């Protein structure tokens, strides 16, 4: 099924998407998308949405297994509180990518702005995964509680691929960065280490899937090209509270 979103209010567009899903549509292509919000919010598995254009904020919010592919850029809040499914964006994204994400996969071909991965978490067999092909802004992984967050730095820009306040408040999960951040960039709650065999087994599998989904040739990165950023404690602010 194909829908043109040109000059369409976001409410009408989302009503048409949900009506199509209710009628049994498994694949929906959206053309001329320009800032419409909440596309794919809450959709269950069995539905694939292809977007030509730039979707608005909170695309894929609370998504429960659907798949979204964007042939363009995304805005803020992609994958907000996403439970499961997969979102592939061939361009750049705005702020709070994967905010409070609880499961599923976000693959970004370009760069992300501020606070990507903030409050990411994992539960049981739900382990969210975020891969950013370019760089990421300040507060990457802020208050991160679980999951896997990867920054590849393939945008060709000079300097570290991440900003400052990296991992501030981080108390779970892991980040893999294809750069070595300077000490002044790190939040006080995180440490930096080289990858071991188990790290590379995890990261290598995620990267293979990323290259396949983004349809790019594997650059041939190895474990020595990355560092691991990890939380030093599961309760970084434990002494600040009285019980």
Domain CATH number, residue 73: 2.160.20.60
Answering whether pTM is above 0.75, one says yes
pLDDT at residue 159, rounded to an integer: 76
Q: What average pLDDT does the chain have?
A: 96
Backbone torsion region of residue 221, taken as left when φ is above 0, otherwise alpha when ψ lies between -120 and 50, otherwise beta? beta
pLDDT digits 0-9 by tens, 34-75? 999 999 999 999 999 999 999 999 999 999 999 999 999 999
Answer positive or negative: Cα dihedral of 186, 188, 193, 196.
Answer: negative
Assigned token pair, 166: 């990296």
pLDDT digits 0-9 by tens, 73-113? 999 999 999 999 999 999 999 999 999 999 999 999 999 99
Instruction: Check: CB of residue 76 under 8 Å from CB of residue 95.
Output: yes
**Residue range(s) defining the domain that contains residue 172:** 2-240
Domains held by the chain: number: 1
């Amino acid at each position: 099924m194909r829908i043109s979103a040109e000059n369409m209010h976001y409410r009408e567009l989302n009503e048409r998407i949900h009506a199509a899903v209710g009628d049994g549509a498994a694949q929906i292509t959206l053309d001329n998308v320009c800032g419409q919000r909440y596309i794919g919010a809450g959709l269950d598995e069995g539905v694939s949405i292809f977007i030509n254009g730039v979707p608005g904020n909170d695309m894929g919010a609370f998504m429960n297994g659907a798949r979204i592919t964007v042939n363009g850029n995304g805005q803020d809040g992609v994958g907000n509180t996403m439970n499961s499914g997969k979102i592939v964006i061939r361009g750049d994204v705005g702020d709070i990518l994967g905010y409070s994400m609880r499961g599923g996969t976000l693959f970004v071909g370009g760069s992300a702005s501020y606070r990507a991965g903030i409050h990411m978490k994992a539960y049981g067999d739900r382990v969210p995964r975020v891969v950013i092909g370019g760089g990421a802004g300040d507060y990457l992984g802020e208050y991160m509680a679980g999951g896997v967050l990867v920054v590849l730095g393939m945008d060709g820009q000079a300097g570290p691929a991440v900003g400052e306040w990296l991992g501030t408040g981080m108390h779970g999960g892991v980040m893999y960065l294809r750069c070595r951040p300077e000490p002044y960039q790190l939040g006080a709650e995180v440490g930096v280490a080289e990858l071991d065999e188990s790290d590379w087994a995890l990261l290598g599998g995620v990267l293979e899937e990323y290259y396949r989904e983004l349809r790019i040739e594997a650059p041939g990165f190895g474990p020595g090209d990355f560092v691991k950023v990890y939380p030093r404690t599961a309760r970084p602010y434990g002494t600040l509270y009285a019980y």
